[in-house]
Amino acid sequence: MIGFRPEIQALGGYTPGEQPQAGKFIKLNTNESPYPPSPRVIRAVQQAAESGLSRYPDPMGNAFRYRAAEVLGVEPDWILCGNGSDDILTIVTRAFVGNGQLLRLPYPSYVLYKTLAQIQGAWSEEISWNEDWTLSAAFYADSPQLRLVFLPNPNSPSGTLVSHQAIGDLASRLTCPLLVDEAYADFATSNCLDLVRQNERIFVSRTFSKSYALAGLRFGFLVGQPHAIAKLAKVKDSYNCDALSIAGATAAIDDQAWLRDNVAKIIATRQRLMAGLDALGFASVPSHANFIWTRHPKRPSAALYDQLKQNRVLVRYMNYSKWGDGLRISVGTDEQIDACLALLQSMV
């Protein structure tokens, strides 16, 4: 056997949600947007394709940084562009967490954090949420081996939000960097962007895969203080973002009206889904994201998942050891959600 590192040999690897490449499914399993991206994005990508792909792209994606800085109220050098926010999470892990060191994440949350630690030959410490999905006291404890804390906010699969104040408090008790993964923040009532100014150890990551309906484009970014962004830029691949995604993401963040409209529609449909699940006797967690975590007190979640799939509705079934299982249902269009609810009604 050729010489893979033992950590890599042992790697389970992250299994992304099913992406059926053929067949008609109502796809409510990977928190994509049911709406198309802004038409300006399509035009920008098509123009970029015509105006020349033979040159290397701008290594720092400055066109995006300048436009995003205006929208977010920071300076361009507070922003690092990534090939999806997964690229950002990878860069941050490689920069802060060495072999044998420790990374912290809440449990249940995004499995990738743990995989990234494992690839680094680092340890990860999964700290269970309190039963009501608030941070447990142990999550605030500092330790000398601790080098990075990941906090998805809103969290997946729960869709719950840790308060702005709790996150400021958490960062002030930790001596290591804290990355607040705000993949779903556009659907929530608050975010932590302003905390980045107050504490150099706080970083915020964002993605274009959810609220901007651009999962296929692979674009995300990090907000942090400029001296840290400059160092992180040395860890990334030189040309980590291509010319098309830089053009597309720049057009996307420029169209805030489109974003607001779609977020408003998704939040309205989230209410409709929540009410529908309530009416069917499901126990659901109130969500700040574009999905709802739910289970039925009498019907096993795995069976519901299977029956939905047989009827060509894909949701995500998750089973967390020592925590329990459930269904994570992405918020689609009203029509998609009504179809899903009608099927569930026939099953419970």
Contacts of a second copy in 133-162 (CB under 8 A): 147-148
Looking at beta carbons only, is 96 or 123 nearer to a second copy? Answer: 96
Q: Which listed range, 73-81, 82-90, 321-329, 333-341, lies at the site for a second copy (CB under 8 A)?
A: 82-90
Q: How far from 126 is each of 53, 117, 141, 305, 332, CA to CA, in Å?
A: 43, 11, 13, 26, 31
* Shortest Å distance, C-beta 286 to a second copy: 25
* Shortest Å distance, C-beta 248 to a second copy: 7
Looking at beta carbons only, is 231 or 342 nearer to a second copy? Answer: 231
Judged by CB under 8 A, does residue 176 bind a second copy?
yes
- What distance in Å separates the CA atoms of residue 145 and residue 125, rounded to the nearest whole number? 11
Among 35, 140, 166, 255, binds a second copy (CB under 8 A): 35
* Shortest Å distance, C-beta 136 to a second copy: 23
Give the contact letters, 209-238, x = binds to a second copy (CB under 8 A), - = no.
x---xxxxxx---------x--x-xxx-xx
Judged by CB under 8 A, does residue 50 bind a second copy?
yes
Neighbours of 203 (CB within 10 A): 27
* Shortest Å distance, C-beta 62 to a second copy: 8
Among 45, 81, 151, 167, binds a second copy (CB under 8 A): 45
Judged by CB under 8 A, does residue 340 bind a second copy?
no
Judged by CB under 8 A, does residue 313 bind a second copy?
no
3-state secondary structure 233-285: HHHCCCCCCCHHHHHHHHHHHHCHHHHHHHHHHHHHHHHHHHHHHHHCCCEEC
Judged by CB under 8 A, does residue 299 bind a second copy?
no
Judged by CB under 8 A, does residue 265 bind a second copy?
no
Nearest to 232 by CA among 109, 148, 153: 148
**b/e burial code for range 129-159 (CB count within 10 A of at least 16 → b):** beeebebeeebbeeeeebbbbbbbbbbbbbb
Instruction: Report whether 103 contacts 237 (CB < 8 A).
Output: no
Instruction: Report whether 315 contacts 327 (CB < 8 A).
Output: yes
* Shortest Å distance, C-beta 303 to a second copy: 26
Instruction: Report whether 185 contacts 153 (CB < 8 A).
Output: yes
Q: What's the N-to-C CA distance of the chain in angstroms?
A: 50
Tell me the DSSP string of 298-319. Answer: SS-HHHHHHHHHHTTEEEEEEE
Among 242, 282, 313, 315, binds a second copy (CB under 8 A): 242
- How many chain residues bind a second copy (CB under 8 A)? 83
* Shortest Å distance, C-beta 344 to a second copy: 24
Among 13, 73, 281, 286, binds a second copy (CB under 8 A): 13
Judged by CB under 8 A, does residue 106 bind a second copy?
no
